[in-house]
Amino acid sequence: MPSNTMKDYTESHATAVELQRQHYPGLFMLKFMLLVLFGSLLIFGFYFVTNSIGVVAGVAGALIFWGFTIERFLDSVGYLTPLTVFFTLITLNFAKTAYAPRGYELTAARFPELFAQLEKLNQKHRAPRIHKVLLEHTCNAGIVHRPRLVFLGWNEHTLVLGMEMLLFMSPEQMQSVLAHEWGHLSGRNERIHARIGLILFYFRAAWDVVEKRFPGRWAGLLHWYLSTLTVYSIIYGRSNEFRADATAARLVGQERAAEGLLIHTALPRLLDRYYWEPLFDLTRVLPQPVASPYKNLQAFLRDRPFSLQEVGAEIRQELSQKTDSLDRHPCLGERLAALQIAPDTMRYAPEKSAAEAWFGEDLDALIAEMDKTWGELYRSCWSERYREHRASD
């Protein structure tokens, strides 16, 4: 099937699934859970077969070593099935390192104010434990769920925070972002998301093999399952954004939840246009990355604060957008409508950033560390763009 045709099919399928979720939510969840169960059973079957071979070979080798007869081996076969099931259930998720988030780890000992904010949220709304907090080179925040065991879960939760976001958001606005992530962390959502992520990881790996070695019916069946589960997971995740927004509104208030959402929408666009794009234009003249992007960003935000008019223009532009069938997040207008908040209630005049409030005296050292790792991360692509500019001159 041509790629454009497949894309059109996927989009039309997503539209149909969204209508199903709206009008028949019970049927939607039933189909979604059956897809998840089907994937889990196939993965379990794969591990059960491979573990069975290992257990049988191990037991047979031990019996031969100790001089037992074949009859004794056959007598022991009845005990092997529950033993194999047990070993399968406690199978470690060997793939967990493949999609592990990376970043600078923040600890409670060094940054107590940040962890005090997390504890306040936990006191208001109990959620599974956050095992690790990482700072990375993004303008976002999120919870990463990783099952330590393939089938019994035992999930590890990592909170990932973007350095850029912490520099332009006020502590109150950042609290609303954390409260939103708290909504994703609590309830059954975290277990379902962890399971879906695991299934998609395994089946995408299987797809790479099947597509090359077994084209035809088996590849088509696997592609159908992958695309269907992906569509259902997108629709489910999109509906969860409303639940996470509602949790944030309960924890920090509707206006603050909306304010954090609006600032997170507008400021990255403005910073891309007025800071990051000019910075990357320096690849025309500098062969190596700039040394202090975050230190310079901190100074830029202090010396060139954006006006409410500039922020409002970006928000109006975003409000004109509608949710696409395959978008993982609802459009801004739908989220504000669900919060029952108008966009003109926003205030943007942070006297102190969340980074300044929560990292205190360690902020300068932390920025220096993030500047260093940013240079290491972007050195290759920066040099490549520099060579391209030199070649085109």
> Does any domain span residue 168?
yes
Based on the fold, state whether residues 52 and 194 are members of the same structural domain. Answer: no
Give the largest Cα separation in the chain, rounded. 86
Based on the fold, state whether residues 98 and 72 are members of the same structural domain. Answer: no
> Does any domain span residue 2?
no
> Does any domain span residue 214?
yes
Based on the fold, state whether residues 47 and 99 are members of the same structural domain. Answer: no
Based on the fold, state whether residues 161 and 259 are members of the same structural domain. Answer: yes
Based on the fold, state whether residues 281 and 351 are members of the same structural domain. Answer: yes
- When divided into structural domains, the chain yields a total of 2
Of the three residues 91, 121, 153, the one that is the final residue of a domain is 91
> Does any domain span residue 258?
yes
Of the three residues 51, 73, 91, the one that is the final residue of a domain is 91
Which domain does 80 fall in, by range? 9-91
> Does any domain span residue 226?
yes
Based on the fold, state whether residues 44 and 149 are members of the same structural domain. Answer: no
Based on the fold, state whether residues 50 and 132 are members of the same structural domain. Answer: no
Q: What is the pLDDT along the chain (393 residues), one digit of tens a residue?
A: 444 544 556 788 888 998 999 999 999 999 999 999 999 998 888 888 888 887 777 766 766 666 665 666 566 666 677 878 877 777 777 777 777 788 999 999 999 999 999 999 999 988 888 999 999 998 999 998 888 888 787 888 999 999 999 999 999 999 999 999 999 887 667 778 888 888 888 888 887 777 777 666 777 788 889 899 999 999 999 999 999 999 999 999 999 999 999 999 999 999 999 999 999 999 999 999 998 999 999 999 988 888 888 888 999 999 999 988 888 899 999 999 999 888 775 666 667 899 999 999 999 999 999 999 999 999 999 999 999 988 886
pTM (2 d.p.): 0.86
Based on the fold, state whether residues 55 and 122 are members of the same structural domain. Answer: no
Based on the fold, state whether residues 154 and 284 are members of the same structural domain. Answer: yes
> Does any domain span residue 4?
no
Based on the fold, state whether residues 222 and 361 are members of the same structural domain. Answer: yes
